[in-house]
Structure 1
Amino acid sequence: MSPIGVSGPELFIGTETAYVAFVRPEIDPTQPDVVLAAQEAGVTPEEFAGPGNIWALMLDVDGEGDGFELPGARDVEADDFAEQLQRALAAGEPFTAEAGNFLRLDARPVADTWQVTASVTPPEGHDAGPRTLELGALPAAELLADLEDFRRALA
């Protein structure tokens, strides 16, 4: 089950109180709530659900959540970002990894964890401005496993 309640590929980095999540949500057109919403909108459930190929970045700090769509983002770019993170984590040295111009992760190893800071820049036209989130000390093994699961979901 997704920690943030979506289906589809997602890369969740952080804790329950501070996180960023790179997601491609998929809406199931057979779910009763989707069918009802589609009827109310006057479209088919499949039209309402959409193609399921729009990437988004979600973030939250102590219940103050936000998120935005990433028009033009593709699976290959998400996979490249995940691979970049895997290589950096395996090297065991402080690193910076970027996903486009909307997400930068700065990380440094501390024992068997990584202290991660996320810098998020919403696209032009989004109400919120840039934010910096301290994601905490994240277990190295868990990060690597999450990256592998994410890449597998994209394959």
Structure 2
Amino acid sequence: MSPIAVGGPALFIGTDTPCVALVRPEIDPAQPGVREAAERAGVSPEEFAGPSDLWQLIADRTDGEGREIALTELSTADADAFAGSLLDAIADPDAEFTIVLTVAAHDVLRLSGRPAGEGFAFLASVVPPPSEGTPQLEVEIGPTALADLRVELEQFRRSLR
């Protein structure tokens, strides 16, 4: 399901554009900027890069409108709990639901699901923090097969361990 490779844990809802993604990209030690920073710090590029702890919420619509929000206060446990809530919500293929990802007392993502074909269609409301000054973005995500969604969620949760 993942339309782009991020190297670290990634949960994509939607098979292409439109989609929303919760990702924790890895820092590539081969990037020139990373190599230069490591040299200045007096460590190897691999040691400098290490695992990234910075989560991002990415939303993309077919009209080119999108958002990318740094989630500096999101923990891996919170990301896992969100994925677990979504997994629980899709357990009933006939249910409509809304789950919320809250970071630092701010709801950054409201994900509403409704049955559609052999899976679910979603409305994702991405709400940047007020300090960013950008408006909420709504992303309509077409039907996603239930089996594919379960696999994506389970793989994401395994990648967090």
Asked if TM exceeds 0.5, the reply is yes
Please give the per-residue CA displacement for 1:27-58, whole angstroms capped at 9, x wherever unaligned.
132x153545537x944535863650011101
Offset, 1:24? 0.8
Aligned partner of 1:126 in structure 2 is 132
Judge conservation of contact 2:2–2:11 (CA < 8 Å) in 1. no
Q: TM-score, normalised on structure 2?
A: 0.84
Provide the identity percentage. 44
Judge conservation of contact 2:123–2:141 (CA < 8 Å) in 1. yes
Q: Which runs of 4+ in 1 moved over 6 A?
A: none
Offset, 1:126? 1.7
Offset, 1:108? 0.7
Judge conservation of contact 1:94–1:107 (CA < 8 Å) in 2. yes
Judge conservation of contact 2:24–2:56 (CA < 8 Å) in 1. yes
Aligned partner of 1:5 in structure 2 is 5
Which segments of 5 or more consecutive residues in structure 2 lack a partner in the other structure? none
Report the aligned-residue RMSD.
Answer: 2.3
Q: TM-score, normalised on structure 1?
A: 0.87
Judge conservation of contact 1:121–1:130 (CA < 8 Å) in 2. yes
Change beyond 3 A, Cα 1:60–1:48: farther
- Match of 1:72, as an amino acid? E
Aligned partner of 1:54 in structure 2 is 54
Aligned partner of 2:81 in structure 1 is 80
C-alpha separation in 2, matches of 1:64 and 1:77: 27
C-alpha separation in 2, matches of 1:99 and 1:4: 22
- Match of 2:57, as an amino acid? L
Deviates more, 1:91-100 or 1:63-72: 63-72
- Match of 1:142, as an amino acid? D
C-alpha separation in 1, matches of 2:81 and 2:22: 13
Which segments of 5 or more consecutive residues in structure 1 lack a partner in the other structure? none
Residue 71 (structure 2) pairs with residue 65 (structure 1): no
- Match of 1:4, as an amino acid? I
Please give the per-residue CA displacement for 1:51-101, whole angstroms capped at 9, x wherever unaligned.
500111011112333201112100101111111011110122111111111
Aligned partner of 1:95 in structure 2 is 97
C-alpha separation in 1, matches of 2:19 and 2:60: 5
SS at match of 2:132: coil
Aligned partner of 1:106 in structure 2 is 112
Please give the per-residue CA displacement for 1:115-153, whole angstroms capped at 9, x wherever unaligned.
111001012322421111101111111111000000000
How many correspondences in the alignment? 153
